[in-house]
Amino acid sequence: MRRLAIILLAAAAGLALVAPPAGAAAPPSTGPAKSASSTDASDLAPVNVVQVSGLIDEILIDKITTTLKAAETDGAQAVILQMNSSGAVVSRGRMADLATVLHESPVPIGIWVGPSGANLTGLGGQLLAVADASGMAPGAHIGKFGTPLTVSGVTFEFGAVTDKLREHTIGFQEARTSGALRLDTTDEGVPAVKNMVLGMDGLVVTRAAAQGKTLHTVAVSLNDNGSTQNNLTLVRFYKLGLLNQLLHTVSSPAVAYLLFVIGMALLIFEFYTAGVGIAGVVGAACIILSCYGLAALPTRGWALAALILSMFAFAVDVQVGIPRLWTGIGVVLFVFGSWFLYRNVLGADLRPSWITLIAGIGGILLTFVVGMPSMVRTRFATPTVGREWMIGEMGTALAEISPDGVAEVAGGRWRARTNRATPLKPGDRLRVVAIDGVTLEVEPEEGGAKDYREMRTKRGAQTPEFEPSEVASPANEESSAESAKS
């Protein structure tokens, strides 16, 4: 018993020496201390963000669909659609199919309308009803959703402003207070994507396809000073590829319209220049891209035909070199075609803005009223003062001249008109017989038509000045002398 007591006393004394006194500070830590609840951001599943900007077309729908399918296998815990769209150019049925894909996706879905100043209008705004979380940036607007889509199991309601959103738009504050959004946000809203990811932390999904899933987008860790730090999970951004981005851009109303106008103007310009140059290549590329965009957009056929006919009307007076009646007809056709080119469908206002219309119409007027006629006059002119020396010069027809065409004379290209409607084929030799302004009057080298004035002049040149009986001879001189003496 004595030995046991001694051992117990010794143990108690040792513990008293080792333990710090009451109120003493703990020894410094050699590394960051973590509580039992602390986590690391690398342990959390990533979040995929798809940028949806511009009119919703087949390219964007395909991008959204493929990203959702990929999220099912790449370990993403949620997909966020970053939307800034003024409508859709696909059918209602196609938009209903997209809403069905979102509704039946096993991956939680969030929709963020941003950045600041973004809009989500038209049928694209109805996708907010199938999202598990939705937020808006300050300055963003939603509305003009139109008639609700038909999707099984989805109720397209947006709180107290459901009816208002069908024909009008609202801002962030009204959307938050009316219950149109499905994310508990503060008065400051969701200014950036990271705030959207942060707000979705702890969200429990109630949608049937992903019911019961809880999102963990924030990792909480302790700093050395004992404070906590929030670290977001990995955010992966998905954008359109270069080719798809190009096709999506040319499918916007303003870009497709301007590309078509520029392409047609460049082709007409190339028609009046020698050879195939940069203008022709660029014009052809613009026409091809604009045709893709116009095919994807709801255009009026008669308005597009008016734009094409206006270009032909402009070309008529460009060939003359002076704006006349056809230029006026071209201006009227071009203005009407530009204004009524697009049909407004599915709640999307596709008419180009005033800036776009002013740029298109003003550019065409400057081109075909001022620029092109001056270019044609300069091209078919010559710096030589006085061109009478060209009368009688020989040349070659570069194109069919019947009655008007182009000829090469003295090493230059000239507008030519056949003399008395004698046609010339490409490559035929010709002779300049007169000059009318900057136009040469020409005739074939052989077999040119002749009028009564030339025939009379030549007959007069062959007639002797005196009759044969009046020509002086020795006999006549003697008889004249005798008559004078008598």
**Domain end point (choices 213, 238, 263):** 238
pLDDT for 183: 74
b (16+ CB within 10 A) / e for 292-301: ebbebbebee
For 80, phi and psi rounded to 5 degrees? -110, 130
Residue type, 261: V
pLDDT for 118: 93
% of the chain exceeding 90 in pLDDT? 37
For 468, the enclosing helix (H) or strand (E) is: none
**Strand runs labelled E in 347-428:** 394-397, 404-409, 412-418
- The verdict on residue 278 lying in a domain is yes
Average confidence score pLDDT of the chain: 79
pLDDT tens-place string over residues 219-254 = 877 666 767 777 889 999 999 989 999 999 999 999
| Residue pointed to by tokens 């070309």 | 315
Give the list of residues 6+ apart from residue 178 with CB closer than 8 angstroms, or none.
Answer: 158, 159, 160, 161, 170
Q: Is residue 13 predicted with pLDDT exceeding 50? A: no
Beta-ladder partners of 397: 407
pLDDT tens-place string over residues 364-417 = 988 888 777 766 666 555 444 456 778 888 999 998 888 888 888 887 888 888
Q: Within this chain, do residues 108 and 150 fall inside the same structural domain, yes or no?
A: yes
pLDDT tier for residue 454 given thresholds of 50, 70 and 90: very low
Look up the pTM and report it. Answer: 0.66
CATH of the domain at 217: 3.90.226.10
- The verdict on residue 362 lying in a domain is yes
Q: Within this chain, do residues 292 and 426 fall inside the same structural domain, yes or no?
A: no
Q: Within this chain, do residues 247 and 229 fall inside the same structural domain, yes or no?
A: no
pLDDT for 370: 78
Q: Within this chain, do residues 132 and 229 fall inside the same structural domain, yes or no?
A: yes
Q: Within this chain, do residues 178 and 48 fall inside the same structural domain, yes or no?
A: yes
**Count of domains forming the chain:** 3
Closest of 332, 308, 304, 330 to residue 319, by C-alpha: 330
pLDDT tens-place string over residues 250-287 = 999 999 999 999 999 888 888 776 556 788 889 999 99
Structure token pair of residue 7: 């051992």
**Domain end point (choices 238, 268, 290):** 238
Average pLDDT on 283-305 reads: 92
Question: CA 64 to CA 100: how far, in whole Å?
Answer: 12
- The verdict on residue 207 lying in a domain is yes
For 233, the enclosing helix (H) or strand (E) is: none
Average pLDDT on 360-366 reads: 90
pLDDT for 19: 40
Residue type, 431: R
- The verdict on residue 316 lying in a domain is yes
Structure token pair of residue 392: 């009688």
pLDDT for 304: 94
Question: CA 348 to CA 303: how far, in whole Å?
Answer: 19
pLDDT for 39: 61
Angle between helix 253-271 and helix 372-379 axes, rounded to 10 deg: 20
- The verdict on residue 32 lying in a domain is no
Average pLDDT on 7-36 reads: 39
CATH of the domain at 446: 2.40.50.140
C-beta separation of 357 from 340 below 8 A:
no
Q: Within this chain, do residues 435 and 307 fall inside the same structural domain, yes or no?
A: no
Handedness of CA 434, 440, 443, 444 (dihedral sign): positive
Burial class of residue 367, CB neighbours in 10 A (0-12, 13-18, 19+): buried
More confident residue, 262 or 477: 262
Average pLDDT on 196-208 reads: 90
Q: Within this chain, do residues 195 and 127 fall inside the same structural domain, yes or no?
A: yes
Q: Is residue 37 predicted with pLDDT exceeding 90? A: no
Q: Within this chain, do residues 234 and 305 fall inside the same structural domain, yes or no?
A: no
Question: CA 149 to CA 156: how far, in whole Å?
Answer: 8
Q: Within this chain, do residues 92 and 173 fall inside the same structural domain, yes or no?
A: yes
- The verdict on residue 307 lying in a domain is yes
Pick from 4-13, 113-122, 162-171: least confident: 4-13
Q: Within this chain, do residues 434 and 328 fall inside the same structural domain, yes or no?
A: no
Q: Within this chain, do residues 368 and 348 fall inside the same structural domain, yes or no?
A: yes
- The verdict on residue 3 lying in a domain is no
% of the chain exceeding 70 in pLDDT? 75
Structure token pair of residue 437: 């302004």
Average pLDDT on 457-468 reads: 46
Q: Is residue 75 predicted with pLDDT exceeding 80? A: yes
Beta-ladder partners of 443: 431
Q: Within this chain, do residues 82 and 213 fall inside the same structural domain, yes or no?
A: yes
Question: CA 230 to CA 365: how far, in whole Å?
Answer: 60
More confident residue, 221 or 165: 165
b (16+ CB within 10 A) / e for 160-175: ebbebbbeebbebebb
pLDDT for 30: 34
pLDDT for 316: 82
Helix, strand or coil for residue 72?
Answer: coil
Q: Is residue 27 predicted with pLDDT exceeding 50? A: no
pLDDT for 414: 85
pLDDT tier for residue 469 given thresholds of 50, 70 and 90: very low
Question: CA 431 to CA 422: how far, in whole Å?
Answer: 12
pLDDT for 387: 64
Domain around 310: 243-379
Q: Is residue 76 predicted with pLDDT exceeding 90? A: yes
- The verdict on residue 5 lying in a domain is no
pLDDT for 375: 67
**Domain end point (choices 321, 353, 379):** 379
